[in-house]
Amino acid sequence: MKKYFFTPGPSQLFPTISKHIKNAVNYNISSISHRGQQFKQIFKNTVDSLKKLLNIPDTYYVFFLSSATEAMERIIENCVEKYSFHFVNGAFSKKFFEIASDLKKEPFEYEVDYGKGFNFNAIAIPKKIELICFTHNETSTGVALNVNDIYKFKKLYPNKLIAVDIVSSVPYVDLNYSLVDIIFFSVQKGFGLPAGLGVLIISPQALEKSKYLANKNLNIGSHHSFIELVNYAQKNQTPETPNVFAIYLLEKVINDMLKIGINNIRKNTDIKAKLLYKFLDNNDGFKPFVEKKSVRSKTVITSEVKIGSQEIIKKLIRKGFIVGNGYGIYKDKHIRIANFPAHTIQSVKGLITQLSI
């Protein structure tokens, strides 16, 4: 029986991935030297294709790490001497805040109830804050921020760095990268790849902050400081042996997405999200966890299940549809449905049919 993974990460593999995996094996990609010309070309091609797909400025740097969680650590180490500010409305935005605290910084936290958005007009950022951290799409709850609200903070506080977690909204989110400084994601969600690769994108201003902290003899990390990552990225390399296999696959999937067209990907995502929310809004057994429609995620749809989620999840598994549990305290109360480029309109309709039975 064919299985459809609507889990919010790892999720459904991109349709062309099996072909690319076979080619990677046939071309011995996992055995090539990470200092050799073949890898340098893979690195360059992946970065160039990603910048084209997401419209990232040429002056921004792209790094390959182990995960998005590692990216959080690198960001705090390299961009915060003491003070960061975190908008928290779920488990992953909370994690970003906790990492800053674990690294002995003095982070500020503005927290709202899970499932809610923020009243950004009521928030003033303290003068001493160096870095403002946003989670664009909170994977644990299904809340998405309006990117224009993020841009407002860059315009109001041009001397502060802006970091944005786009882990579960890339490549759908249409971000103006020139109005943010640090962006990161992992590949096992929207890009439909096996887990094990994180991508970190930084502006020249973020690099300058890292250099400033280094010149003050502060800890900015070692092998994965921004300075080291840039030194190697300029040579189309990484400081250590990276996940060459995953970088190769990412390049190939990005190129497939370029052929489809990012506007088509976004349009299809909107269509699928509309189908899912229409069903949830009109079915007595379900209720979207995020009540305010303007902050409902298009890529992670979270629903309360009136009879509890576990029986629904088991029933769906028997039919070949795998959805996510609720996160944390909501494990037995919610389901989370991923809506990534690998999910077709047809498979979403099939899922809705099974939910209706």
**Mind listing the pLDDT tens digit of every residue in the chain (357 residues)?**
899 999 999 999 999 999 999 999 999 999 999 999 999 999 999 999 999 999 999 999 999 999 999 999 999 999 999 999 999 999 999 999 999 999 999 999 999 999 999 999 999 999 999 999 999 999 999 999 999 999 999 999 999 999 999 999 999 999 999 999 999 999 999 999 999 999 999 999 999 999 999 999 999 999 899 999 999 999 999 999 999 999 999 999 999 999 999 999 999 999 999 999 999 999 999 999 999 999 999 999 999 999 999 999 999 999 999 999 999 999 999 999 999 999 999 999 999 999 998
Nearest to 340 by CA among 166, 87, 200: 166
What tokens were used for 251?
A: 């390049």
Where helices occur in 103-203 by DSSP H, the ranges are 147-156
Whole-angstrom distance, CA of residue 333 vs CA of residue 166: 25
CB 343 within 8 A of CB 28: no
Q: How far apart are CA 134 and CA 148, in angstroms?
A: 12
Residue with tokens 């990276």: 242
Q: Which two tokens stand for residue 111?
A: 């927290």
Q: What is the CATH number of domain 4-12+260-356?
A: 3.90.1150.10
Contact 108, 234 (CB under 8 A): no
pLDDT attached to residue 296: 98
Listed as own residue / partner, the contacts of 332-336 with beta carbons closer than 8 Å and 24 or more positions apart are 332/308, 333/304, 333/305, 333/308, 333/309, 334/289, 334/302, 334/303, 334/304, 334/305, 334/309, 335/302, 335/303, 335/305, 335/309, 336/7, 336/8, 336/139, 336/142, 336/300, 336/301, 336/302, 336/303
Neighbouring-strand partners of residue 305: 286
Neighbouring residues of 85: CB distance < 8 A, sequence distance ≥ 6 = 107, 108, 110, 125, 126, 129, 131, 132, 133
pTM of the model: 0.97
Cβ pair 99, 72 in contact under 8 A: yes
Alpha-carbon span 330 to 332, nearest angstrom: 6
Q: Which of 154, 128, 135, 130 is nearest to 80 (CA)?
A: 130
Beta-bridge mates of residue 137? 144
Sign of the torsion angle spanned by Cα atoms 16, 17, 21, 24: positive
Ramachandran sector of residue 86 (left: φ over 0; alpha: ψ -120 to 50; beta: rest): beta
What 32-40 contacts at long range (C-beta under 8 Å, 24+ apart), as own/partner pairs, is 32/244, 34/237, 34/238, 34/240, 34/241, 34/242, 34/244, 35/237, 39/236, 39/237, 39/244, 40/235, 40/236, 40/237
Domain 17-258 adopts which CATH fold? Aspartate Aminotransferase; domain 2 (3.40.640)
pLDDT score at 116: 96
Among candidate residues 247, 210, 252, the one with its CA nearest the CA of residue 229: 210
Write down the pLDDT at residue 226: 98
What residue segments make up the domains of the chain, in order of their start? 4-12+260-356, 17-258
* Residue 300 to residue 92: CA distance in whole angstroms: 13
The residues pairing with 201 across neighbouring beta strands, listed in sequence order, are 62, 183
Strands of 334-338's sheet, edge to edge?
A: 4-6, 321-325, 334-338, 300-305, 286-288
Strand partners, 199: 64, 185
Looking at residue 1, what is its pLDDT?
A: 85
E strand or H helix that includes residue 102 = helix 91-102
What's the pLDDT at 202? 98
